[in-house]
Amino acid sequence: MPSQPTTSPASIASIVLSMSCVAIGNGMMLAYVPFSLARVGAPPWTAGAAVTAIAFGGLLGCVIGGPLIRRVGHARLFSCSMALVILSALLIALGVNPILWVVARGIYGCSGNMNFIIAQSWLNHAASNDWRGKAMSGFYMTYVIGLGAGAWLFGQIPAEGNLAPLATIFFTALAILPIGLTRLPNPPPPQNVSVDIPMAWRNSPVALIGVLAAGGLSMVVQGFAPIYAAGNQIPQQDVALLMFVMQFGLLFIQYPLGALSDRIDRRYVLLITCMLICGAGIAALFVTFASLALLMLVFAIFAGAVETVYSIANAHANDRADPADFVPLASTLLVAWSVAATAVPLAVTALTPVFGDQTFIYAAMAVAAAYALFVAIRLRERAAEPAAGEGFELMSAQIPNASTLCDPMLEEPPQTR
């Protein structure tokens, strides 16, 4: 295996800082778009189509990200993808136009996934084995907190006009500076990314289906919750606070469940997580916006449990992977996440006019229940496995794992997985 880079944790600060600025802008737009569409009385399908467009754009970003990095390198493509984020926000700043806004969110989804591929692979290249896990966990946590901070900032500015997308342009422009000035060397050209679904299924059916489930669950809960709140005429500040609180569910739900999954068979923890999703979904159906504080707590648990499915399924896949299969496995899981993240919101968008604005809650519960049933069947077919040891790493399904797709130095999974 090639020698690891000799860098310190401080050396990756530019990458983390850039992505944190991006997260703040993204958090603002995740709140601004559905709130504005509801406020102006846009067609009911528009907000859901915007969520689906983000996921479809993300799938496109997964496909073209690797070849573009091979063509121009990490640093140049990072600037180009930031330019696409700015273009997306500019199209929204022009004024409410439902079709144009859906296109803009698709452009953001494409550039967003390319940003993740660039940042994660660059972090993996820059970090050495003894602190790579902490670096990746810190990156995920910082990004998710940035999303929440962006949503909170949206609640502090006027919703009328185009101040929110202009602020997004400001934060995205700031994000270019740390990467543009970094002294970190560009990683080597990426490997050819191959998708091998039969290999991923042989490695772990529970992990593959879990990542599929997580893609749909995350996009549905994170994408449709602000639409649900805005559609119920909730004030701007409360919509922003709801999204802010939801991000912290990731920290308070995922950490204890992740620690538990290091001590017992991860599949049992996945079952517990699915039951938690269903329980939170039932509570969300009956707790009204009149009890806003309680509803925020319910949605924080809802979002945290949804994100936990991804992290534990990803860890379970890595537990069982042969070193030679790790890169194609990671790319297969990334594409699987993207496909589900596109298909499930599309179905929710189509069904919402029929079943109402709580359709996304029913959809999340249905996906979680179906996955729990699959895990239970696999537990009966295959005996319980020993505890995985200290291997769990905080991850978010909002940031699909692309950390090894573009780094030929890595021949085996990071030890913290």
Assign 95 a pLDDT band (cuts: 50, 70, 90).
confident
| pLDDT over threshold 80, residue 185 | no
How far is residue 327's CA from residue 412's CA, in Å, rounded to a whole number? 8
| pLDDT over threshold 50, residue 24 | yes
Amino acid residing at 317: A
List pLDDT tens digits, range 274-312. 999 999 999 999 998 889 899 999 999 999 999 889 888
Assign 163 a pLDDT band (cuts: 50, 70, 90).
very high
Q: What percent of the chain has pLDDT over 70?
A: 84
How far is residue 56's CA from residue 46's CA, in Å, rounded to a whole number? 15
Assign 377 a pLDDT band (cuts: 50, 70, 90).
very high
User: Residue length, the chain?
Assistant: 417
Task: Give the pLDDT confidence score for residue 174 in this predicted structure.
Answer: 93
Q: What is the dihedral of CA 97, 98, 101, 103, to 10 degrees?
A: -120
Assign 323 a pLDDT band (cuts: 50, 70, 90).
low
Least confident of 24-38, 53-67, 86-100, 339-353: 53-67
Task: Give the pLDDT confidence score for residue 107 in this predicted structure.
Answer: 94
| pLDDT over threshold 70, residue 1 | no
| pLDDT over threshold 60, residue 4 | no
Which DSSP string corresponds to 244-256? HHHHHHHHHHHHH
| pLDDT over threshold 80, residue 393 | no
Task: Give the pLDDT confidence score for residue 255 in this predicted structure.
Answer: 79
Task: Give the pLDDT confidence score for residue 327 in this predicted structure.
Answer: 65
How far is residue 380's CA from residue 344's CA, in Å, rounded to a whole number? 28
3-state DSSP percent of the chain in helix, strand and coil, to 5: 75, 0, 25
Question: In this structure, is the dihedral angle defined by the CA atoms of residues 245, 38, 223 and 213, taken in order, positive or negative?
Answer: positive
Question: In this structure, is the dihedral angle defined by the CA atoms of residues 315, 70, 178 and 33, taken in order, positive or negative?
Answer: negative
Task: Give the pLDDT confidence score for residue 392 in this predicted structure.
Answer: 59
How far is residue 82's CA from residue 69's CA, in Å, rounded to a whole number? 14
Task: Give the pLDDT confidence score for residue 136 in this predicted structure.
Answer: 73
List pLDDT tens digits, range 189-205. 665 556 778 888 888 89
Least confident of 249-253, 268-272, 328-332: 328-332
